[in-house]
A and B are shown apart, each in its own frame.
Chain A
Amino acid sequence: MAKKEKMWELRLYVAGKTTKSNTALKNLKKYCETHLKGQYKIEVIDLLVQPQLAEGDQIFAIPTLVRKVPEPIRKIIGDLSNEEKVLVGLNIRPVNEIL
């Protein structure tokens, strides 16, 4: 399987260091470590610092996770507390299923 070649580019939009964004980032890192170890890149964008970036990715809710690669672009909004939903949303097959 060409699975190894697959890179996941994820972008997390936040607005300042709020509880919600911290939770989201923590959750995201946890899922990625579990299911996409070594295959992912996470970019955190703070819209308070770079507000002009909100328009490009059509962000209106915070936090929003955008899967830039692989295409098509998917978005997940919220603090990502539901692992199953995040995996489905990102179309990641959980590690235990592969096994």
Chain B
Amino acid sequence: MNTLPKTLTGNTGLDEITEGGLPKGRPTLICGGPGCGKTLMSIEFLVKGAMRYNEPGVFMAFEEKADELTANVASLGFDLNKLQKQKKLKIDHVHIDRSEIEETGEFDLDGLFIRLGHAIDSIGAKRVVLDTIENLFGGLENQAILRAELRRLFHWLKEKGVTAIITGEKGDGSLTRNGLEEYVSDCVILLDHRIINQISTRRLRIIKYRGSFHGTNEYPFLIDEDGITVLPVTSLKLDKKVSSQRVSTGIPTLDEMFGGKGFYKGSSILVSGSAGTGKTSIAASFAHAICTKKEKCMFFAFEESPQQIIRNMRSIGFNFNQHIEKKLLEFHSFRPGLYGLEMHLSNIYKMVKKFKPSAVILDPITNLVSVGLISEVNSMLLRMIDHLQNEGITFMMTALNSGTTEHIDENVSSLVDSWILVRDVELHGERNRALYIMKSRGMEHSKEVREFLISSKGLNLVDVWRGSEGILIGSARKEKEKEAAVARKQTKSRNLKQIQ
């Protein structure tokens, strides 16, 4: 089977979704509401084309003037002036002002064709962007001629063999205000920008792509200082590398519960429990263990500031300042509501890419629910787990479960490899912590419930008391143990007496 020739856009995510880029030598329509990133996406297509693939491009602007455009994208590191000087890019601003124009009788758009043709030929362009050609509809009265001419224009572009992007503003109930989708039928991409709970999320969807397979989902994308990032969709494939190496949890007695060796390297671990059960302490002890081995760890905190965590953890014997000084540990605190989930995800990706840690900690994931729906948080975490797993980074997250809120831990638990649960046990007028392993894939692990102790010496797990009275924990356990010790001593001495 012949596959359709494609042109790489240079945007990794978009190229992945389209399985190789836009249809070569054909026009593609990018539509969406105002401010959805159409212009940016198309200018990126030209800039990347010129810089990476040596394909010069023509940008025909019907909206913005060339200098405005240049200024707008300069913040993204695109130097349009330089590219224009190198003859890799040509920007032509088509100014249409109804008040200056009178129409009478027959006309055609040969002027536009000649201009575009001249621009293409002058730099040998392979890529063309028309942004937004719909402005012609506002400038000209005779729509019948205009429509016929547009049809001719798109044919002409195909004949020219240039890969073109045509942008169009979204209309009511139609993809574009003036029905451009009628003329461009090879590939249509819809960009969308919606606000849910006051947080904006951008999404991209390929509505059609004639003669090619493509991802049909809505894919989130971001616009930040690096331009447009369509988030990686590699997570669709389940073919990650796995390691059989083990990493210590930082608590010897907890390692014991995990077959004596701890977690798998590159696995994902969920620590969940009710408030005040020591989830952050477990995470901190893990971070401490990683850094002690001279490996790097990255700690993302959504609740506490780095200083707070450092101070608090000092009280249980972890000195994080030394790790930070040695650049083994990096703390990042931000409020979940600061930006949308996707932005968080991409931010984390970027920082992880820069720091290259061997472990990442997210504390706690529960707070993300305030930013997105549970299903969205799930999908974000899934992608994050996949991404980190691919990189061989061990990933620990904590989750709060209380009786009232939805149980995010249960939703996430199917995605993680190991799940540690910490419980409050209230008995005999005191509150103690009990810890057990809910699951741990692919390894021998303890099924016991153990008592979890936090003291100035660090974290520790001890066996609970199992006896005729049931399970005892805390001071009741200590009491029993003392009794038992006394009883043992007594039996011992009695036995000795009997022997004597």
Q: What residues make up the interface of A, taking CB atoms closer than 8 Å to B?
A: 13, 15, 20, 23-24, 47-48, 51-52, 54-55, 58-64, 72-82, 85-86, 88-89
Contact = CB atoms under 8 A, between A and B. Distances in A.
17 contacts: A47-B114, A51-B118, A52-B118, A60-B109, A61-B107, A61-B109, A61-B111, A61-B112, A61-B140, A64-B107, A72-B100, A73-B100, A75-B101, A76-B104, A77-B103, A86-B102, A89-B102
Given A55-B92, A61-B107, A62-B108, A76 B115 contact: no
A77 B111 CA distance: 11
Given A61-B108, A63-B107, A78-B103, 11 more contacts: A51-B114, A51-B118, A60-B112, A60-B136, A61-B140, A62-B110, A62-B111, A75-B101, A76-B103, A85-B104, A89-B104
A72 B99 CA distance: 12
Q: Is the interface of B mostly helix, strand, loop or mixed?
A: mixed
Contacts of B102: 74-77, 85-86, 88-89
Given A58-B95, A88-B102, A77 B107 contact: yes
Given A13-B111, A61-B140, A79 B117 contact: no
B104 A47 contact: no
Interface hub of B94, B107, B111, B118 (most chain A Cβ within 10 A): B111
Nearest to B112: A60
Contacts of A60: 94, 96, 109, 111-112, 115, 136
Contacts of A77: 101-104, 107, 140
A59 B111 contact: yes
B107 A54 contact: no
B107 A79 contact: yes
Given A54-B118, A75-B100, A23 B105 contact: yes
Interface hub of A15, A61, A79, A88 (most chain B Cβ within 10 A): A61
A85 B118 CA distance: 31
Interface of B: 92, 94-96, 100-112, 114-115, 117-118, 136, 140
Contacts of A54: 111, 114-115, 118
The 8 closest A-B pairs by CB, nearest first: A89-B102, A81-B105, A79-B105, A51-B118, A78-B105, A62-B110, A59-B111, A60-B112
A67 B111 CA distance: 17
A58 B111 CA distance: 9
A24 B102 CA distance: 14
Contacts of A51: 114-115, 117-118
A47 B110 contact: yes
A58 B114 CA distance: 12
A88 B103 CA distance: 11
Contacts of B115: 51, 54-55, 59-60
A51 B119 CA distance: 9
Given A51-B117, A60-B115, A86 B104 contact: yes
Contacts of B108: 20, 61-62
A59 B94 CA distance: 8
Given A55-B92, A73-B100, A78 B107 contact: yes
A23 B115 CA distance: 23
B156 to A, nearest CB: 13
